[in-house]
Amino acid sequence: MSYKIAAASSDGIYVDRHFGHADLFYITEISDGGMCRFLEKRTVLSPCRHGVHDLQIMQEAVKLIADCQYVLCEAVGAGAAAILGQHHITPLETDESIDNAIRNIILYKKRVKNLQRTCS
For residue 75, what pLDDT is reported? Answer: 96
Range 3-119 classified under CATH 3.30.420.130: yes
DSSP string, 69-115: SEEEES---HHHHHHHHHTT-EEEE--SBHHHHHHHHHHHHHHHHHH
Exposure string for 40-62, b = 16+ CB within 10 A, e = fewer: eebebebbbeeeeeeeebbeebb
Q: What are phi and psi of 94, to 5 degrees?
A: -160, 160
% pLDDT > 90, the chain: 74
List beta partners, residue 5. 28, 70
- Dump pLDDT digits (tens) for 51-106: 677 889 899 999 999 999 999 999 999 989 999 999 999 999 999 999 999 999 99
pTM of the predicted protein model: 0.91
Q: Is the separation of the CB atoms in 81 and 23 below 8 Å?
A: no
Every domain of the chain and the residues it spans: 3-119
The amino acid occupying position 116 is Q
